Amino acid sequence: MATTTIIQLFVFMLAGFVGVQTINRIPPLLHTPLMAATNAISGISLVASLVLAGSGDGALATILGTIAVACAMANIVGGFLITDRMLSMFKRTKTVPAGNMEKALRAP
């Protein structure tokens, strides 16, 4: 293996370790803001994958770029759906209008 490949594998493994340690130490209260930040990072990776897919550097780059675009879009859409679902848990329930209070109290 080339020295560059070994260094790249080392950096990849180190990034994975740091990512796991960071996520495990996040309190549950901060998960929603963390998801929003993760969606922003996925947006950056989407732009990079679009550049790769349209670079015209060969068939392999186009295929890998297209796969990266699909994965980044799935990650972004899924992240926004999950964030929306988590935020909907904190919405207030509708209140009874003042004129219907007696009717609401008499309902079985």
Instruction: Mention every residue, 6+ apart, whose C-beta is less than 8 A from residue 69.
Output: 46, 49, 50, 53
User: What is the pTM (predicted TM-score) of this model?
Assistant: 0.56
pLDDT surpasses 90 at 89: no
Cβ-contact 38, 26 below 8 angstroms: no
For residue 94, the model assigns a pLDDT of 66
Cβ-contact 83, 36 below 8 angstroms: yes
Confidence of residue 96 (pLDDT cuts 50, 70, 90): low
The string of pLDDT tens digits covering residues 19-55 is 888 878 877 777 667 777 777 788 888 888 898 888 8
Instruction: Mention every residue, 6+ apart, whose C-beta is less than 8 A from residue 33.
Output: none
For residue 19, the model assigns a pLDDT of 82
For residue 13, the model assigns a pLDDT of 93
The string of pLDDT tens digits covering residues 62-82 is 998 899 899 989 988 888 888
Instruction: Give residue limits of the domains in the chain.
Output: 32-88
pLDDT surpasses 60 at 101: no
